[in-house]
Amino acid sequence: MKPKNRVFIATSIDGFIADQDGKIDWLHDIPSAEGEDMGYAQFMAASDALVMGRNTFETVLGFDIPWPYEKPVFVLSNNLKTVPEQLQDRVQIVSGPLEEVLAGIHQQGYQQLYIDGGKCIQSFLAADLIDEMILTTIPVLLGSGIPLFGELEQKLKFDCRESKVYFDSVEQRHFVRKREI
Protein backbone atom coordinates (compact mmCIF):
# COMPACT_ATOMS: atom_id res chain seq x y z
CA MET A 1 0.00 0.00 0.00
CA LYS A 2 1.23 3.48 -0.85
CA PRO A 3 2.39 5.51 2.16
CA LYS A 4 -0.29 7.89 3.35
CA ASN A 5 -0.53 10.72 5.83
CA ARG A 6 -3.99 11.04 7.30
CA VAL A 7 -5.68 13.41 9.73
CA PHE A 8 -8.50 12.48 12.11
CA ILE A 9 -9.54 15.45 14.22
CA ALA A 10 -12.56 17.34 15.53
CA THR A 11 -13.25 21.05 15.21
CA SER A 12 -16.04 23.49 16.02
CA ILE A 13 -18.21 24.72 13.13
CA ASP A 14 -15.92 27.76 12.95
CA GLY A 15 -12.84 25.56 12.67
CA PHE A 16 -11.27 25.67 16.13
CA ILE A 17 -9.58 22.70 17.80
CA ALA A 18 -9.47 24.38 21.22
CA ASP A 19 -11.11 27.47 22.68
CA GLN A 20 -9.25 30.68 23.39
CA ASP A 21 -8.07 29.33 26.75
CA GLY A 22 -6.78 26.16 25.07
CA LYS A 23 -9.65 24.14 26.56
CA ILE A 24 -11.36 21.26 24.79
CA ASP A 25 -14.24 20.51 27.19
CA TRP A 26 -16.73 21.59 24.49
CA LEU A 27 -15.49 18.63 22.40
CA HIS A 28 -17.26 16.30 24.80
CA ASP A 29 -20.40 18.40 25.11
CA ILE A 30 -22.22 16.33 22.52
CA PRO A 31 -24.69 13.46 22.49
CA SER A 32 -23.04 10.05 22.61
CA ALA A 33 -23.95 6.41 22.53
CA GLU A 34 -22.05 3.55 24.07
CA GLY A 35 -19.89 1.77 21.55
CA GLU A 36 -20.10 4.59 18.98
CA ASP A 37 -16.64 6.08 18.54
CA MET A 38 -17.37 7.78 15.21
CA GLY A 39 -14.79 5.69 13.38
CA TYR A 40 -11.83 6.33 15.68
CA ALA A 41 -10.92 2.69 16.41
CA GLN A 42 -11.18 1.78 12.73
CA PHE A 43 -9.01 4.74 11.78
CA MET A 44 -6.43 3.87 14.42
CA ALA A 45 -6.41 0.21 13.35
CA ALA A 46 -5.60 1.31 9.79
CA SER A 47 -2.70 3.46 11.01
CA ASP A 48 0.83 2.08 11.50
CA ALA A 49 2.07 4.94 13.67
CA LEU A 50 1.25 8.46 14.87
CA VAL A 51 3.11 11.69 14.24
CA MET A 52 2.32 14.57 16.58
CA GLY A 53 3.83 17.82 17.74
CA ARG A 54 5.29 18.52 21.14
CA ASN A 55 2.17 20.38 22.34
CA THR A 56 -0.10 17.43 21.65
CA PHE A 57 2.40 14.99 23.17
CA GLU A 58 2.66 17.04 26.37
CA THR A 59 -1.12 17.47 26.49
CA VAL A 60 -1.62 13.72 26.30
CA LEU A 61 1.08 13.16 28.97
CA GLY A 62 -0.75 15.65 31.18
CA PHE A 63 -4.04 13.74 31.02
CA ASP A 64 -2.86 11.56 33.93
CA ILE A 65 -4.11 8.42 32.24
CA PRO A 66 -2.17 5.35 31.08
CA TRP A 67 -0.39 6.01 27.78
CA PRO A 68 -3.28 5.69 25.32
CA TYR A 69 -1.51 4.62 22.13
CA GLU A 70 -0.64 1.06 21.18
CA LYS A 71 0.96 2.21 17.93
CA PRO A 72 4.40 3.84 17.85
CA VAL A 73 4.34 7.61 18.30
CA PHE A 74 6.77 10.01 16.63
CA VAL A 75 6.97 13.42 18.27
CA LEU A 76 8.03 16.18 15.90
CA SER A 77 10.12 18.60 17.94
CA ASN A 78 13.39 20.49 17.68
CA ASN A 79 13.44 21.24 21.39
CA LEU A 80 12.32 18.08 23.12
CA LYS A 81 15.34 15.91 23.94
CA THR A 82 14.01 13.00 25.99
CA VAL A 83 10.75 11.22 26.71
CA PRO A 84 9.71 9.71 30.05
CA GLU A 85 11.57 6.43 30.67
CA GLN A 86 8.48 4.22 30.58
CA LEU A 87 7.70 5.51 27.05
CA GLN A 88 11.15 5.08 25.53
CA ASP A 89 10.16 1.97 23.58
CA ARG A 90 6.95 3.59 22.35
CA VAL A 91 7.85 7.18 21.56
CA GLN A 92 10.59 8.58 19.34
CA ILE A 93 11.53 12.23 18.96
CA VAL A 94 12.09 13.27 15.37
CA SER A 95 13.18 16.57 13.83
CA GLY A 96 14.41 18.07 10.59
CA PRO A 97 12.77 18.64 7.21
CA LEU A 98 9.44 16.80 7.01
CA GLU A 99 10.45 14.82 3.91
CA GLU A 100 13.48 13.45 5.78
CA VAL A 101 11.43 12.74 8.89
CA LEU A 102 8.94 10.81 6.77
CA ALA A 103 11.67 8.87 4.96
CA GLY A 104 13.06 7.78 8.34
CA ILE A 105 9.64 6.67 9.58
CA HIS A 106 8.94 4.78 6.34
CA GLN A 107 12.34 3.03 6.67
CA GLN A 108 11.23 1.71 10.03
CA GLY A 109 8.29 0.08 8.24
CA TYR A 110 5.51 2.52 9.13
CA GLN A 111 3.65 3.72 6.03
CA GLN A 112 0.13 4.66 7.09
CA LEU A 113 0.59 7.63 9.39
CA TYR A 114 -1.89 9.36 11.67
CA ILE A 115 -0.86 13.04 11.70
CA ASP A 116 -2.18 14.73 14.83
CA GLY A 117 -2.10 18.10 16.56
CA GLY A 118 -2.83 21.56 15.17
CA LYS A 119 0.68 22.79 14.45
CA CYS A 120 1.85 19.42 13.17
CA ILE A 121 -1.09 19.18 10.78
CA GLN A 122 -0.46 22.75 9.61
CA SER A 123 3.20 21.91 8.91
CA PHE A 124 2.23 18.85 6.89
CA LEU A 125 -0.42 20.80 4.94
CA ALA A 126 2.02 23.65 4.24
CA ALA A 127 4.32 21.06 2.65
CA ASP A 128 1.37 19.44 0.82
CA LEU A 129 2.01 16.16 2.63
CA ILE A 130 -1.54 15.34 3.77
CA ASP A 131 -3.44 12.76 1.70
CA GLU A 132 -6.69 12.42 3.63
CA MET A 133 -8.54 14.34 6.33
CA ILE A 134 -11.39 12.96 8.39
CA LEU A 135 -12.87 16.04 10.04
CA THR A 136 -15.52 15.71 12.72
CA THR A 137 -17.59 18.85 13.30
CA ILE A 138 -18.72 19.47 16.86
CA PRO A 139 -21.85 21.57 16.20
CA VAL A 140 -20.93 24.70 18.08
CA LEU A 141 -19.70 28.16 17.09
CA LEU A 142 -16.99 29.18 19.58
CA GLY A 143 -16.24 32.62 18.11
CA SER A 144 -12.53 32.37 18.92
CA GLY A 145 -9.85 29.83 19.73
CA ILE A 146 -6.99 27.87 18.21
CA PRO A 147 -7.71 27.24 14.51
CA LEU A 148 -7.04 23.88 12.88
CA PHE A 149 -5.94 25.43 9.61
CA GLY A 150 -3.25 28.00 8.95
CA GLU A 151 -1.74 29.93 6.11
CA LEU A 152 -0.68 28.18 2.93
CA GLU A 153 1.53 29.27 0.06
CA GLN A 154 -0.74 27.52 -2.42
CA LYS A 155 -4.35 26.43 -2.29
CA LEU A 156 -4.92 22.68 -1.90
CA LYS A 157 -7.80 20.93 -3.59
CA PHE A 158 -9.60 17.98 -2.06
CA ASP A 159 -12.71 15.93 -2.77
CA CYS A 160 -15.22 15.10 -0.08
CA ARG A 161 -15.87 11.39 -0.55
CA GLU A 162 -18.25 10.75 2.29
CA SER A 163 -20.12 12.52 5.05
CA LYS A 164 -22.05 11.15 7.99
CA VAL A 165 -24.22 12.55 10.75
CA TYR A 166 -23.91 10.97 14.21
CA PHE A 167 -26.49 11.35 16.99
CA ASP A 168 -28.56 13.66 14.75
CA SER A 169 -26.03 16.33 15.70
CA VAL A 170 -22.35 15.70 15.00
CA GLU A 171 -21.08 15.53 11.45
CA GLN A 172 -18.02 13.94 9.92
CA ARG A 173 -16.46 14.47 6.49
CA HIS A 174 -13.84 12.47 4.66
CA PHE A 175 -11.67 14.60 2.38
CA VAL A 176 -9.14 13.13 -0.06
CA ARG A 177 -6.40 15.30 -1.56
CA LYS A 178 -6.89 15.87 -5.27
CA ARG A 179 -3.50 16.36 -6.83
CA GLU A 180 -2.98 17.68 -10.34
CA ILE A 181 -1.54 14.98 -12.56
- Residues in the site for its own copies, rule: CB under 8 A? 13-15, 19, 26, 29, 125, 133, 135, 137, 139-144, 148-165, 168-171, 173, 175, 178
Strand 112-116 relative to strand 146-147, pairing: unpaired
Residue number, 58 or 162, with CB nearest to its own copies: 162
Residue number, 104 or 147, with CB nearest to its own copies: 147
- Report the distance separating Cα 76 and Cα 55, nearest Å: 10
Torsion angle of C-alpha atoms 92, 59, 55, 137, degrees rounded to 10? 110
- Report the distance separating Cα 175 and Cα 19, nearest Å: 24
Query: Is the CA virtual torsion 57, 149, 10, 49 positive or negative?
Result: negative
Q: How far is the CB of 50 from its own copies (least distance, A)?
A: 22
Q: How far is the CB of 162 from its own copies (least distance, A)?
A: 6
Residue number, 3 or 15, with CB nearest to its own copies: 15
Q: Which amino acid is at 18?
A: A
Residue number, 67 or 166, with CB nearest to its own copies: 166
Any residues with CB less than 8 A from the CB of 153 and at least 6 apart, and which? 126
Q: How far is the CB of 79 from its own copies (least distance, A)?
A: 26
Any residues with CB less than 8 A from the CB of 62 and at least 6 apart, and which? none
Residue number, 106 or 157, with CB nearest to its own copies: 157
Q: How far is the CB of 40 from its own copies (least distance, A)?
A: 18
Q: How far is the CB of 171 from its own copies (least distance, A)?
A: 4
Any residues with CB less than 8 A from the CB of 59 and at least 6 apart, and which? none
